[in-house]
Amino acid sequence: MGCGSMGVCHGEAYQKLENVQITAVVDIDREKGQALAGRLGCSWAPNLAALRFDKIDFVDICLPTHLHFAAISQACRFTKNILCEKPLVIKEEEISGISLLIRQYDLRLMTAHVLRFWNCYDKIRDMVKNQTLGEVSSIGCTRRQKRPVWSASNWLYQSSLSGGLVYDLMIHDIDYVVWLLGVPKAVVGDIVHDNDQVPLHAKAQLRYENCIVDLFASWGMPESFDFYATMEVIGGKGMVFCDSAGAFTWTDHEGNRKVSLEETDPYAEELRYFIDCCEQNRYPDKSDISSVLQSLKTTRAIDQAAATGRIIVL
Ligand SMILES: NC(=O)c1ccc[n+]([C@@H]2O[C@H](COP(=O)([O-])OP(=O)(O)OC[C@H]3O[C@@H](n4cnc5c(N)ncnc54)[C@H](O)[C@@H]3O)[C@@H](O)[C@H]2O)c1
């Protein structure tokens, strides 16, 4: 559902998997829907009900964020297997609504938090969990891009529809850090806007007992700037750095060296994982709903901290 930037991205990733055949795509925009249907060799419909299927193996939701909850509510009448792009939902009441739907329909609902399937982020989580890094005392993440002007009807710029810069972009790193370390004890944040009140840059600090996490997310980079993200984790035994250009280095008292990782498509890995869970009737632990709800809680706190200038204790 949704044939915009992420619908196309997922569609291309499904084509790399052997055990998947897309039956149909849904988009309110006929032109976009038919274009993607043509590429994937499937049918198009303006909504799920118009497909007239009694049963569907699974639904993948790549709609604008404000439509996620309604789409999940509709999809669960056809299937218990639902994958939904991040952020899962943005309203407080929708979070409790999601938990109700999961219980009522026994849903296997996974949020597509792609960093959990990104080889360097996954590797760093292993290094933290198996103590290769020692006790982690500092994490720094940056995620920067030019203005996201491509969204349908510019929904991304409207905080009521997308949640804004923190919910839409910074959430990638918030979710990863919460997945790694749990909910912080307190957060602070700050956002600067342009004259039209479009958020440009957001900074946040997540405070843990013995670790400080600094996050920076930007929609305000120059037009010529390509998307770029970095992460640095410092522990008692060394430091790792990775970036979206493929760098991965490990530094300890003996020096600095490159670590080579197998090249993978993180979106295909994420979809492969979900489909394997569906086929093997397993719960998608790697993106389990309780940790996703924890990262949403932290995201909400950072957004509040930025809006009020106060420290939010969690
Ligand atoms: N994981 C990632 O790396 C990543 C990156 C970008 C966006 N996203 C998320 O993916 C989701 C989609 O973002 P996008 O960039 O693809 O948006 P988009 O605007 O490019 O695409 C949205 C599509 O939904 C369609 N649509 C709108 N209303 C509809 C309706 N009522 N019924 C059917 N179709 C409808 C639009 O016509 C459009 O084709 C968002 O939640 C966003 O936060 C995730």
CATH label of the domain that carries residue 236: 3.30.360.10
- Measured CA to CA, the distance from residue 39 to residue 287 in angstroms comes to 29
Kindly write down the DSSP assignment for every residue of 24-63, as one continuous string: EEE-SSHHHHHHHHHHHT-EEESSSGGG--S--S-EEE-S
List b or e across 9-44, with b for residues whose CB sees 16 or more CB atoms inside 10 angstroms.
Answer: bbbebbeeeeeeebebbbbeeeebbebbbeebeeeb
67, 87, 113 — which closes off a domain? 113
Q: Which of 10, 28, 110 to mutate to test the pocket of ligand 1 (most atoms within 8 A of CB)?
A: 28
* Interacting residues of 271 by C-beta distance below 8 A, sequence separation 6+: 10, 13, 14, 17, 20, 60, 83
Q: Whose CA is nearest to atom 21 of ligand 1?
A: 4
105 and 125 together in one domain: no
158 and 33 together in one domain: no
Beta-ladder partners of 134: none
Contact between residue 163 and residue 238 where contact means Cβ atoms under 8 Å apart: no
Q: Could you give the number of structural domains in the chain?
A: 2
165 and 201 together in one domain: yes
Q: Which of 1, 3, 6, 265 to mutate to test the pocket of ligand 1 (most atoms within 8 A of CB)?
A: 6
Q: 197 falls in which pLDDT band (50, 70, 90)?
A: confident
Domain harbouring 46, CATH code = 3.40.50.720
Domain range enclosing 75: 5-113
Mean pLDDT value of segment 71-98: 94
- Measured CA to CA, the distance from residue 229 to residue 156 in angstroms comes to 19
135 and 82 together in one domain: no
158 and 238 together in one domain: yes
Atom from ligand 1 closest to the CA of residue 152: 19
Q: Whose CA is nearest to atom 3 of ligand 1?
A: 114
272 and 135 together in one domain: yes
| Cβ count within 10 A of residue 96 | 12
**pLDDT score of 150:** 79
pLDDT tens column, 142-161: 999 998 887 878 899 899 99
Please list every protein residue whose CB sits less than 6 Å from any atom of ligand 1: 2-7, 26-29, 32, 47, 62-65, 67, 85-86, 112, 114, 150-152, 168
- Measured CA to CA, the distance from residue 237 to residue 130 in angstroms comes to 12
pLDDT tens column, 47-66: 998 998 878 999 999 999 99
**Residue showing tokens 């530094």:** 251
**pLDDT score of 259:** 92
Distance 305 CA to ligand 1 centre (A): 27
Distance 27 CA to ligand 1 centre (A): 10
Distance 289 CA to ligand 1 centre (A): 21
Q: Which amino acid is at 197?
A: Q
Mean pLDDT value of segment 216-236: 96
**Residue showing tokens 């009441």:** 93
256 and 196 together in one domain: yes
Q: How much of the chain, in percent, has pLDDT values that exceed 70?
A: 100
**pLDDT score of 120:** 95
Atom from ligand 1 closest to the CA of residue 8: 16
Distance 28 CA to ligand 1 centre (A): 11
161 and 40 together in one domain: no
**pLDDT score of 55:** 81
Query: Average per-residue pLDDT in the chain?
Result: 95
90, 113, 136 — which closes off a domain? 113
Distance 2 CA to ligand 1 centre (A): 6
- Two tokens, residue 185: 């004890």
178 and 230 together in one domain: yes
136 and 241 together in one domain: yes
User: 80 by DSSP, 3-state: which?
Assistant: coil
Q: Which of 8, 85, 156 to mutate to test the pocket of ligand 1 (most atoms within 8 A of CB)?
A: 85
Per-residue pLDDT at 184 exceeds 90:
yes
pLDDT tens column, 232-283: 999 999 999 999 999 999 999 999 999 999 989 999 999 999 999 999 999 9
**pLDDT score of 100:** 94
Per-residue pLDDT at 80 exceeds 90:
yes
113, 131, 157 — which closes off a domain? 113
Per-residue pLDDT at 167 exceeds 90:
yes
**pLDDT score of 99:** 92
Distance 67 CA to ligand 1 centre (A): 9
**pLDDT score of 196:** 85
Distance 173 CA to ligand 1 centre (A): 20
108 and 124 together in one domain: no
Mean pLDDT value of segment 115-126: 96
Q: Whose CA is nearest to atom 34 of ligand 1?
A: 27
Atom from ligand 1 closest to the CA of residue 26: 33
**pLDDT score of 173:** 98
Distance 167 CA to ligand 1 centre (A): 14
205 and 130 together in one domain: yes
